[in-house]
Amino acid sequence: KGAAGVDYWSKGEQIHVPAIPADAVDTTGAGDCFAGFFATGLDEGRDFESAIKIGIAAASIKVGRSGTSDAFPNRAEVDALLAARA
């Protein structure tokens, strides 16, 4: 479940990246939103964990909105959320 965050393995170590709390309105498409923003982060040359954090931020914004792709945030919204949590 997205609310649990993301676990991944690196060099034999399990790493947990926590979710960003959100008031979920509609979770439809949240996984696709995460995947798209995660892939974008990797394409930008971000390290794996940074790309995961971008995906998590995007999905946490998306679930607060109704709809699917039309409810996806833009990159400025994602960057603002990440900056506010830094």
- Tell me the catalytic residues: 32
Helix H or strand E segment including 14: strand 13-17
User: What DSSP letter does each residue of 13-68 carry, written as one string?
Assistant: EEEEEPPPP---S--TTHHHHHHHHHHHHHHTT--HHHHHHHHHHHHHHHTTSSSS
The pair of structure tokens assigned to 84 is: 């506010």
